[in-house]
Amino acid sequence: MQERFSGSFTQQEPIPEAGIAAAVAVLQHGRLHRYNTAPGEVAEAALLEEEFAALMGAKYCLAVASGGYALGCALRAVGVGPGDAVLTNAFTLAPVPGSIASIGAKPVFVEVTEDLVLDFVDLAVKARASGARVLMLSHMRGHLCDMEALGALCADLGVTIIEDCAHTMGAAWKGVASGRSGLIGCYSMQTYKHINAGEGGFLISDDAEVMARAVLLSGSYMLYGRHSAAPGPEAFEAVRMETPNISGRMDNLRAAILRPQLPLLADRVARWEARYRALEAGLQDTPGLRLVARPAEETFVGSSFQFLLPGWSPARIGAFLTRTLARGVELKWFGAAQPAAFTSRYQHWAYAEPQSLPQTDRILAGLVDMRVPLTFSVEDCAQIARIIRSEVLAVGQGPEPEAAELPVIQ
């Protein structure tokens, strides 16, 4: 009998008891809006910002309604406007080009390498050709590029870096936290990320003017003085009248759920690494399957796992996905013709100008992706790896299958 995995790929851990108690307290007093405070009270949202800024070693932090909102807010705060070109990874998820489009700016896609990080040669070419002044760097699926080399290159090109750390909260490059190399770091607290409030986002930065703009943009009215992790009033003087209010605030209920999760982040990162390494060890040296290298300089968060099936036909990959799903293993594929659930790629984003990225196309054609929730044990991951390995061997070495309909994975 073939073994079958019975866990759920979409089941996260519960909210810690302290978060539940804090949420109930907010519900009981009813002051959910971040500026609705009792005399002397500092709102949960402001405390959350103070604590995240301290955790990341940033001067300033702003909590907002979602990760996607944080990205759009960051672009506006650095002065990106309609028609401006913004560089971004060709391999990322829809909220990234969406944040660029939300301003009427134009995504300019940059090739990725087989290690799933930005291709620096193509970055320089695209930066010069487009005249873009901003790079929205997506640390897609937690893979960090050489952040020191990127910083030097972008300084040379006159390009400002905004980091999309939706998959790298808790990660680092040579000990520098992800989100601390660019001008602004953006994070998501959506359920599938590393801390969970259902929805939510952060921006962090050391730049007072940019963060004053971001606070005003997020919908602070003239109550920005209530942001204890924001720059002082002098930073707001010059920009408070000219910055539009585009409401996307964090509320006290979600902030209360999040605060007790911040001290748990380091432990979550360690547990994710153990799961990731079990998958990696189980798939090492599987003929037909290529693992993604993890550089020694990188501290990564293994909340998802990717591998490549280079040169496999769509029909063969389809057969492989169908067979692994029948054994309880839900895999996603970035090479599918149609977007499905959360998974899409740059050709599907018809609001962006059509662009051709042959290197990225070749890589995505064989790229398989898997969620790794912390509800999986290390043994679960070893079992999943055994199932994947046996199906890679069976399908990869079998006859060319007929094209079949793909399973849709959430």
Ligand X SMILES: *Cc1c(COP(=O)(O)O)cnc(C)c1O
Stretch 119-158 residues interacting with ligand X (CB under 6 A): 138, 140
Residue number with the smallest Cβ distance to ligand X? 67
Exactly one of 80, 93, 177, 301 binds ligand X (CB under 6 A); that residue is 93
Stretch 193-212 residues interacting with ligand X (CB under 6 A): 201
Exactly one of 113, 160, 190, 347 binds ligand X (CB under 6 A); that residue is 190
**68 near ligand X, rule: CB under 6 A:** yes
The beta-carbon contacts of 274-278 under 8 Å, at least 24 apart in sequence, are 274/378, 275/302, 275/372, 275/374, 275/376, 275/377, 275/378, 275/380, 275/381, 276/300, 276/302, 276/305, 276/372, 276/381, 277/302, 278/378, 278/379, 278/381, 278/382, 278/385
- CB of 350: closest distance to ligand X in angstroms? 19
What's the CA gap between 49 and 72, in Å, rounded?
A: 19
Stretch 292-351 residues interacting with ligand X (CB under 6 A): none
- CB of 141: closest distance to ligand X in angstroms? 8
Exactly one of 19, 72, 95, 182 binds ligand X (CB under 6 A); that residue is 95
What's the CA gap between 255 and 282, in Å, rounded?
A: 39
**178 near ligand X, rule: CB under 6 A:** no
Contact call for residues 140 and 92 (beta carbons, < 8 A): yes
Pairing of strands 176-177, 184-188: unpaired
**Site string (262-281) toward ligand X, x via CB under 6 A:** --------------------
**164 near ligand X, rule: CB under 6 A:** yes
How are strands ordered across the β-sheet holding 290-291? Answer: 290-291, 304-308, 367-371, 332-333
Exactly one of 45, 52, 56, 67 binds ligand X (CB under 6 A); that residue is 67
Tokens 């190399």 — which residue?
A: 181
Exactly one of 116, 166, 256, 321 binds ligand X (CB under 6 A); that residue is 166
Q: How many Å separate Cα 302 from the centre of its chain?
A: 12
Classify residue 358 by burial, with Cβ atoms within 10 Å: 0-12, 13-18, 19+: exposed
**179 near ligand X, rule: CB under 6 A:** no
- CB of 44: closest distance to ligand X in angstroms? 19
- CB of 241: closest distance to ligand X in angstroms? 29
Contact call for residues 132 and 87 (beta carbons, < 8 A): yes
- CB of 204: closest distance to ligand X in angstroms? 15
Exactly one of 96, 177, 256, 409 binds ligand X (CB under 6 A); that residue is 96
**168 near ligand X, rule: CB under 6 A:** no
**188 near ligand X, rule: CB under 6 A:** yes
- CB of 90: closest distance to ligand X in angstroms? 13
Decide whether 119 or 199 has the Cβ nearer to ligand X. Answer: 199
What's the CA gap between 316 and 289, in Å, rounded?
A: 13
- DSSP result, 187-222: EE-BTTSSS-SBS-EEEEES-HHHHHHHHHHTT-TT
Decide whether 188 or 383 has the Cβ nearer to ligand X. Answer: 188
Binding site for ligand X (CB under 6 A): 66-68, 92-93, 95-96, 138, 140, 164, 166-167, 188, 190, 201
